[in-house]
Amino acid sequence: MGEPQIRCRRDDDVKACVEALATVHEVDRYPAEWPADPGAWLTPDGMFDAWVAVEGQDILGHVALTRTDDVLAADAGLAPAGLASVARLFATASARRRGVAGALLAAATTAAAAEGLRLVLEVEDGGAAAIALYERSGWRHAGTRTGNWTTADGRTALLHTYVAPAGRDA
């Protein structure tokens, strides 16, 4: 297998992204509840752009950048105007341990930096692999709060806020 290509998501990628997301949901319960309209879920309000990891015709992963809401900005201790949020980041099971999630995160970080924005994100406590990726990449844990939803295993969500390193790619 060659290196997956990271490129901007196109409209005609959404169906394949939904199919890839379905495999992630089956294995990891991400998202915790399957959305009524998964294509719309992958295109959240306030989205700036999105990228996919592809290998041949296969979508291996996805990430989007969105505007940062006031709650997440406050958790990060930063002004929302200078921030963008990482959203809908996933890699399929077949793409794990191949650097796909890290490459998607780097693409989003580079795009945000080009716009003078710093990245923030939330990750649920059960996302140990994601948390490890962010910490390996130099992201700083900025706080933890209780979410307003329940995880697949019945726990109240515990959300960790992370902030990208200042002045360099993730």
Q: Report helix angle 128-136 to 100-114, nearest 10.
A: 50
Q: Is 158 helix (H, G, I), strand (E, B) or coil?
A: strand
| Residue 169: pLDDT over 50 | no
Determine contact, residues 120/162, Cβ cutoff 8 Å.
Answer: yes
What's the pLDDT score for residue 1? 55
CA–CA gap between residue 161 and residue 66 (Å, rounded): 15
pLDDT in tens, 54-69: 999 999 999 999 999 9
Q: Is 77 helix (H, G, I), strand (E, B) or coil?
A: coil
Structure tokens at 79: 């002004």
pLDDT in tens, 115-166: 999 999 999 999 999 999 999 999 999 999 999 988 888 899 999 999 999 8
| Bridge partners for 66 per DSSP | 47, 85
What's the pLDDT score for residue 3? 81
For 70-88, what is the mean pLDDT?
96
For the chain, domain boundaries: 5-163
Is the pTM value of this prediction over 0.75?
A: yes
| Residue 170: pLDDT over 60 | no
Q: Residue 148: name the closest of 140, 156, 137 by CA.
A: 156
> Which residues make Cβ contacts (< 8 Å) with residue 18, sequence separation at least 6?
38, 39, 42
Q: What is the largest CA-CA distance in the chain?
A: 43
The reply to whether CATH 3.40.630.30 applies to domain 5-163 is yes
Radius of gyration of the chain (CA): 15
CA–CA gap between residue 16 and residue 112 (Å, rounded): 25
